[in-house]
């Protein structure tokens, strides 16, 4: 007892800026170590608020996120309120549904409620006596020299506080990050994709889920798609992803129905025509941004985590999972370097930047590619191209006749990203290697080659530089997709 009291004395003050998903979780991680944790959040306490504004209503939680929750003893609590999704359910234009499992039998991802997850994490952070949550505190400015932060309070007042370490968990438009931008040798890029998203709610039908609950429902269409995740109240949250210019073409209720009739006819009765007419215009389509930067730290004073360090487009369901994994990685390095911030922070940047950049690139690549692959999958269900042997080998190979080039949809990749903690950059390296092998025609017997290839790939890691997926390439790809007749161009990235 005495010893812990003594240790408390010399414990440093850690300020966590942002009490979103990553900030609230991070507060638990730092509190567990015994730091004096001060959390500062712009919004009011969402546990008391009547209406919670925010991004997506629900999220896919997978292995990385779960592991982080486990570190702070929260896994069971969150998982018990999540809905397992064992497979994707692909909806064809004619309304036919085809399931494609995520992993082996019994493996699943979870649909969790964002607000509930955030609330539970705040409550968990608050149970540590060494944690204080400060709501209605909007960070305006801070000093990299002194660690002095200035917060705007409601009604125009301001307060200032000092901390030994500032942890920026304040999301994609991070105020903490602004200080980084002023400094030399800080790399930064942000890209808005041409797509926006809109959420629509599918109510229960006769008191039950309107569709099968244990699936991530997907409607892949040409340049856009809709996905739906189940909620505990038996609703589904549908998210429509579409280029802004397409959203803008629809301006009346009739046009909404016409549009859904053309592309998502089976969803109209499930959402309800009247609801659809109304909800489509409730909120404008939201933008999606991809942010990459490096390094993630300034000296021994400040570190960025979660979306503040790496906002990724949602086409891998990994934004939160990656942010949660940031917390584990930081925690491990804290052990390794005895909580010495001057050693921990540079090491954290060194280790984590390549992985967060890899998932950011992957999600960006997937943004266009996944729609195409899901469409291919759908077609394969209705033709004989679909081979169970290829399937079970974990490798789906798609041959584009027009381009004369074979493309693999890395099920290994999706698997490693979703169900393991394989470093993101390593998973990507393996995937590129796999594609190369296939294009060289080494894939003869599907199962044998895939198994052998996988073995080789572990032995010979490929060149990382091949990876760079530029926004430009993604744009070119979008352009190619817009010219329907020559589909072939779409397979050359």
Separation between Cα atoms, residue 64 and residue 455, nearest integer Å = 24
Which two structure tokens, joined as six digits, stand for 470? 């530029």
Q: What are phi and psi of 387, to 5 degrees?
A: -115, 120
Pick the binder of ligand FAD from 32, 43, 81, 132 (CB under 6 A): 43
Tell which one of 118, 239, 408, 422 touches ligand EGU (CB under 6 A).
Answer: 239
Determine which residue in the list 15, 16, 18, 128 makes contact with ligand FAD, applying CB under 6 A.
18
- Give min distance, CB of 314 to ligand FAD, in A: 4
* Residue 320 touches ligand FAD, criterion: CB under 6 A: yes
Contacts of 50 (CB under 8 A, 6+ apart): none
137-145, 293-301, 312-320, 398-406 -> range binding ligand EGU (CB under 6 A): 312-320
Interacting partner of 169 out of ligand FAD, ligand EGU, none (Cβ under 5 to 8 A depending on kind): ligand FAD
Q: Is 91 in the site for ligand EGU (CB under 6 A)?
A: no
Rounded to whole angstroms, the Cα distance separating 211 from 234 reads 9
Strand partners, 410: 395
* CA gap 142, 1 in Å, rounded: 36
Q: Rule CB under 6 A: is residue 429 a binding residue for ligand FAD?
A: no
Does 229 engage in binding with ligand EGU (CB under 6 A)? yes
Question: First CA to last CA across the chain, in angstroms?
Answer: 61
Residue range at the interface with ligand FAD (CB under 6 A); choices 219-227, 301-309, 372-380, 477-485: 301-309
The verdict on 29 binding ligand EGU (CB under 6 A) reads no
Interface segment toward ligand EGU; rule CB under 6 A; list 52-60, 74-82, 200-208, 296-304: 52-60
Residue 17 lies near ligand FAD (rule: CB under 6 A): yes
Question: Which residues 224-253 are close enough to bind ligand FAD by CB under 6 A?
Answer: 239
CB-based contacts of 115: which residues, under 8 Å, 6+ apart?
46, 52, 54, 57
Q: How far is the CB of 475 from ligand EGU (least distance, A)?
A: 18
The interface partner of residue 219, options being ligand FAD, ligand EGU, none and the CB cut-off 5 to 8 Å by kind, is: none
- Inter-CA distances, 159 with 40, 140, 156, Å: 11, 10, 10
Cα 430 from Cα 396, distance rounded (Å): 15
List of residues 6+ apart from 117 with CB closer than 8 A? 21, 59, 61, 78
267 binds ligand EGU (CB under 6 A): no
């Amino acid at each position: 007892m005495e010893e812990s009291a003594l240790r408390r004395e010399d414990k440093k003050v850690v300020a966590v800026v942002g009490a979103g998903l990553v900030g609230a979780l991070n507060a638990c991680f730092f509190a567990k170590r015994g730091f004096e944790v001060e959390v500062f959040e712009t919004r009011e306490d969402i546990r008391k608020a009547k209406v919670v504004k925010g991004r997506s209503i629900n999220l896919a939680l997978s292995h990385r996120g779960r592991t982080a929750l486990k570190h702070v003893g929260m896994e069971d609590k969150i998982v018990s309120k999540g809905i397992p999704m064992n497979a994707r359910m692909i909806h064809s234009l004619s309304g036919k549904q085809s399931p494609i499992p995520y992993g082996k039998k019994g493996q699943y991802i979870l649909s969790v409620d964002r607000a509930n997850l955030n609330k539970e994490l705040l409550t968990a952070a608050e149970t540590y006596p060494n944690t204080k949550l400060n709501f209605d505190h909007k960070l305006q400015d801070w000093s990299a020299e002194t660690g002095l932060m200035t917060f705007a309070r409601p009604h125009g007042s301001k307060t200032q506080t000092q901390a030994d370490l500032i942890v920026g968990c304040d999301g994609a438009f991070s105020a903490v990050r602004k200080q980084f931008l002023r400094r030399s040798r800080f790399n930064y890029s942000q890209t808005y994709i041409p797509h926006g998203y809109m959420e629509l709610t599918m109510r229960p039908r006769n008191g039950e889920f309107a569709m099968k609950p244990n699936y991530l429902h997907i409607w892949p269409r040409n340049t856009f798609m809709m996905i739906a995740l189940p909620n505990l109240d038996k609703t589904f949250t549908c998210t429509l992803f579409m280029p802004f210019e397409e959203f803008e073409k629809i301006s009346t209720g009739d046009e909404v129905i016409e549009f859904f009739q053309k592309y998502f006819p089976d969803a109209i009765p499930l959402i309800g025509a009247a609801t659809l007419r109304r909800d489509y215009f409730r909120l404008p389509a939201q933008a999606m941004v991809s942010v990459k930067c490096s390094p993630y730290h300034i000296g021994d004073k400040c570190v960025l985590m979660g979306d503040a360090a790496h906002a990724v487009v949602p086409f891998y369901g990994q934004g939160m999972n990656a942010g949660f994994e940031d917390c584990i990685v930081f925690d491990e390095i804290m052990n390794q370097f005895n909580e010495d911030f001057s050693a921990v922070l540079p090491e954290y940047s060194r280790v984590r930047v390549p992985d967060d950049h890899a998932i950011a690139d992957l999600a960006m690549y997937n943004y266009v590619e996944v729609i195409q692959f899901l469409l291919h999958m759908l077609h394969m269900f209705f033709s004989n191209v679909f081979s169970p042997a290829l399937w079970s080998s974990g490798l789906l190979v798609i041959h584009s006749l027009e381009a004369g080039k074979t493309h693999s949809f890395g099920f290994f990749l999706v698997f490693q990203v979703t169900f393991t903690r394989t470093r993101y950059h390593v998973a990507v390296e393996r995937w590129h290697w796999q594609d190369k092998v296939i294009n060289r025609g080494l894939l003869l017997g599907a199962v044998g080659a895939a198994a052998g290839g996988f073995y080789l790939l572990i032995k010979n890691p490929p060149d990382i530089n091949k990876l760079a997926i530029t926004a430009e390439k993604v744009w070119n790809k979008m352009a190619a997709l817009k010219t329907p007749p020559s589909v072939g161009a779409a397979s050359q990235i």
